[in-house]
Structure 1
Amino acid sequence: MLLQWNKYAQRLGDKGHKIMESLLLISDPKLEGTTIIHELPNDGSKIDFETELSGLLGYLKGHLHNHNIIIKVIVNEVLENKFAFTALDKYNRLNEINPNLELLRKTFDLDI
């Protein structure tokens, strides 16, 4: 399924539909039975995606030889803005991203 999904995205990109291509490739879809679940970052991209949904669905049904396929679009607007103001906040944020920072700090006996 993922191979055909990517082929369709490539086909759209070759035709100049770069926005739809990027929406298809923004995340890998998940398959649950005959339901394809695709996550998009916001409602605007969902609206753009749904304009091309019938073409994608027809392509996948034909190439996968399964006419029971449905596509479910989920909007995942997790916006996690963490602002670091103090040196300790900045260190903690960087340590969340890369826990090896603590090892570096301890190895060289560095202050925060």
Structure 2
Amino acid sequence: MLLQWTKYAQRLGDKGYKIMESLLLINDPVLKGTSISIELPNEGSKLDFEKEMNGLLGHLRGHLHNHDITIEVIVNESFESRKTFNDQDRYNRLHEINPNIELLRTTFGLDLDA
């Protein structure tokens, strides 16, 4: 289930739906029987998620061959994302996207520790 969930998120990201991709990947969904629960940080995120939920359900039901799957969204205002990024993590991600950032960093003498 988690593999198909991630594939769907990546497909959305490739289409330019970065917010929805980040909502899907913000936290690992929990599977209990045929019910999947996902915890989101606020009501706005829940509304955005619910707009795309039918597409996600169709994808999961089709690829997992189980039409009984349901998704429950839990809003937790005190939720903190498990992903924490420091300057080096951000730089590495930008470098993956565009390796020319190294040229920019060296040309202007930019330091990650500053």
The TM-score with structure 2 as length reference comes to 0.68
* Structure 2 counterpart of 1:108: none
* Matched residue count: 80
Instruction: Give the residue type in structure 1 aligned to 2:65.
Output: H
SS of residue paired to 2:74: strand
Correspondence 1:70-89 to 2 at 5 A: 70-78=70-78
SS of residue paired to 1:78: coil
Correspondence 1:15-54 to 2 at 5 A: 15-54=15-54
Identity %: 75
Shift of residue 53 of structure 1? Answer: 0.4
Unaligned 5+ segments in structure 1 are 81-112
Instruction: Give the residue type in structure 1 aligned to 2:17.
Output: H
CA RMSD of aligned residues (A): 1.3
Q: Judging changes above 3 Å, is the alpha-carbon distance between structure 1 residues 79 and 45 closer, same or farther for their aligned structure 2 residues?
A: closer
Unaligned 5+ segments in structure 2 are 81-114
The TM-score with structure 1 as length reference comes to 0.70
Shift of residue 79 of structure 1? Answer: 6.7
Instruction: Give the residue type in structure 2 aligned to 1:9.
Output: A
Once residues 78 and 20 of structure 1 are traced to their aligned partners in structure 2, the CA distance between those partners, rounded to angstroms, is: 20
Shift of residue 78 of structure 1? Answer: 1.2
Shift of residue 68 of structure 1? Answer: 0.1
After the TM superposition, list the runs of 4 or more consecutive aligned residues in structure 1 that deviate by more than 2 angstroms: none
- Deviation per residue, 1:20-61 (Å, 9 max, x gap): 000000000000000000000000000000000000000000
